[in-house]
Amino acid sequence: MVKKNLQPSHFQNRELGLLEFNRRVLAQAADDSVPLLERLRFLTIVSSNLDEFFEIRVAGLKEQIKIGIKGTGPDGRSPAEVYELVSAEAHALVGEQYRLLNGVLLPALAKQGVIFPRREDWTESQRAWIRDYFMRELLPVLTPIGLDPSHPFPRVLNKSLNLAIELEGRDSFGRKSRAAIVQAPRALPRVIRLPADVAGAEYAFVFLSSILHAHVDELFSGMEVKGCHQFRVTRNSNLFVDEEEIKNMRIAIQGELLQRHFGDGVRLEVADTCSQQMVDFLLQQFSLSETDLYRVDGPVNLYRLREVTDRVDRPDLKYPTFQPALPPVLTGQKDFYAVLKKQDVLLHHPYESFTPVIDFIRTSVTDPLVIAIKQTVYRTGTDSELMEILIEAAKRGKEVTVVVELMARFDEEANITWASRLEEVGAHVVYGVVGHKTHAKMALVVRREDGPQGSVLRRYAHLATGNYHPRTARQYTDFGLLTAREEICSEVNEVFKQLTGLGKSSRMKHLWLSPFTMHKRVVAAVRNEVRIAKEGKPARIIAKMNALLEPELIEELYAASQAGVQIDLIVRGVCALRPGVAGLSENIRVRSVVGRFLEHTRICYFQNEGADDVYLSSADWMDRNFFRRIELAFPVLDPVLKARVIKEGLQAYLDDSNQAWMMTSEGSYEAPAPRRGKGRVVQEELLRTLAPVA
């Protein structure tokens, strides 16, 4: 293991890297080769990403500053230094977002008949319809709160839409108040579609904030509204659960979830027309400074515009639809197990269907030979067919064991609900290992079958790089492997045994498991390539992941580069490694592919003197994945499938010339060339190759 004598100059900063990734996503919204409504969707994705960035990363920085932490990260910067740099970059990024929305996207949408009439431009018929809508649908559910000694500032929910009202005059009780707060209930739609005959266009939308602004005086009769300003506060959403002290993980998290909506403020967004007096007042209420203030020219929550892309039926303004394909080996097959006895099956999502995974579990419910089903659950969503199937299996008397990760960020509530329902029907529900999130994606089915020597138990497994979530399986790129290889299935069973029981971990030949062996195995594989390179033989590493941050592994990659190993890294998000630095990393290249689908596959390839070792994994190369999570890396042993992974999951990305951003040694990214001629676009090529256009 490399000693932790790290050089700050060797590392990029994590938080700045995350913002740099969001610049690449925002570039998709600015790219006129992307369908117009998809550009709007990318804009909203940036807003969603920034929300989580502030709720988690910025909140963490502010906590460190608050308690006086002076220590530095691998890049040598203190929390205060990082916060200052992050704030400047985030303000610039948000400014670009709104300039792109107002100056490019909204005018382009208007030309296509998708309009957002501004309040000052409403026609008489539009005003009449909007007033009627306000009186009928909004007024009955609004509760204005005047601020005076008997009405203190209300508790404002995390990321909720609110209006700060400046008033003059006295109310019916003779009270004089200069301010009030109107909170928009979360049940209200944030974007309202106008009828076509009223709007004069097929698709016309007005923002809830605009309607409230136009009629806010109805809430304060007899008083004069001097100002009305939308605002939104983002709060610290980290869960503070002392895993060493709690007696019941589920109850502890349920209690903590109630407080998530009211954590410390970390960001205040206000309309750019808001008076300085009101801004100062709001900053004071949330204990924030001017640095935490974001003045915006438009809705304070751009993510809500996402619903517009779904409500506008204009296929010409969206990506072409496609039908995920079934692998030929499964087409027309009714006996899943017979297929898997003969060969492994590789699934490349979203190009290939997620249905075989669902069918793998569903078949086990009705199959009288199946006696046990085991599965991990990290993210499944609130409406999960797979979870319903597991519940049905338990009802039918199957031995169902589900390892539910209750600390899956922002999915805690859904996972608690599923855990409760599974327990109610007799399933064995385990909450993983205290202090280690269970992030591995695996399922195991056990059947009692006839063998040459009589009845035998045979196991079948599904292993994956992505979650058991059918919706994201159509949006994220991932690999899944279905196998009946006993050498793999027996080790998967061993992992489940470690998760559900007690005892020492056993040595495994094929699976790399965090927090025990994965980091050691990856380092050993890197060092093996170094040995090969020093012997004068070709040495190559290719790895694809969401993030690369673990400093000791980064130093190992630097050493490999200096030994002559050729290294290509495909890192979608943040990368702390600096490629192409003379004397350090000349042989390392880093690219980030951003496109229609979210790149989520984790793959590592080691040439190993022609053995071409390929591992698929649930883990990114980060400290938490190696040392604080239960993660799995599994080999692709079938030579044909291994070749597919290399071709589709790695080489195709290295050949991409239109969606691949190349990282510089300074941490910035060089944009891909504009789409001209016959440039290669990896996601489009894989769609054409694997999934027929619907």
We report the CATH number of the domain holding residue 356 as 3.30.870.10
The verdict on residue 1 lying in a domain is: no
3-state class of 526 per DSSP? Answer: helix
Do 284 and 389 fall within a single domain? no
Neighbour count for residue 259 (Cβ, 10 Å): 13
For residue 133, the enclosing domain spans 8-317
Do 479 and 565 fall within a single domain? no
Do 489 and 521 fall within a single domain? no
DSSP 658-689: SSEEEEPTTS-EEPPPP--TT---HHHHHHHH
Q: Quick one: pLDDT at residue 245?
A: 43
Q: Quick one: pLDDT at residue 319?
A: 95
Question: Token pair of 46, please?
Answer: 């940036």
Q: What amino acid positions are annotated as catalytic residues?
A: 439
Measuring CA to CA, which residue among 403, 336, 340, 375 is closest to residue 468?
Answer: 375
Q: How far apart (Å, rounded) are the C-alpha atoms in residues 694 and 685?
A: 15
The verdict on residue 222 lying in a domain is: yes
Do 653 and 550 fall within a single domain? yes
Do 479 and 528 fall within a single domain? no
Residues of the chain falling short of pLDDT 50: 1-3, 241-247, 249, 257
C-alpha pair distances (Å), 353 with each of 342, 478, 511: 21, 11, 25
Single residue among 317, 344, 371 that ends a domain in this structure: 317
Do 251 and 366 fall within a single domain? no
The verdict on residue 244 lying in a domain is: yes
Do 427 and 474 fall within a single domain? yes
Q: Quick one: pLDDT at residue 222?
A: 78
Q: How far apart (Å, rounded) are the C-alpha atoms in residues 184 and 212?
A: 9
CA atoms within 13 A on the CB side of 263: 23
The verdict on residue 326 lying in a domain is: no
The verdict on residue 330 lying in a domain is: no
Do 477 and 531 fall within a single domain? no
Is there a contact between 46 and 22 (Cβ–Cβ < 8 Å)?
Answer: yes
The verdict on residue 77 lying in a domain is: yes
Do 518 and 565 fall within a single domain? yes
Do 490 and 584 fall within a single domain? no
Q: Please give the model's pTM, rounded to 2 decimal places.
A: 0.92
Single residue among 317, 347, 378 that ends a domain in this structure: 317
The verdict on residue 127 lying in a domain is: yes
Helices (H), 367-485: 385-395, 412-424
Do 349 and 285 fall within a single domain? no
The verdict on residue 426 lying in a domain is: yes
Is there a contact between 317 and 36 (Cβ–Cβ < 8 Å)?
Answer: yes
- Its sign, for the CA torsion 345, 348, 349, 353, is negative
The structural domain count of the chain equals 3
CATH at residue 196: 3.30.1840.10
C-alpha triplet 604, 606, 610: angle, nearest 5°: 140
Single residue among 449, 478, 500 that ends a domain in this structure: 500
φ/ψ of residue 490, rounded to 5: -65, -35
Do 297 and 348 fall within a single domain? no
Give the total residue count for the chain: 694
Q: Quick one: pLDDT at residue 678?
A: 61
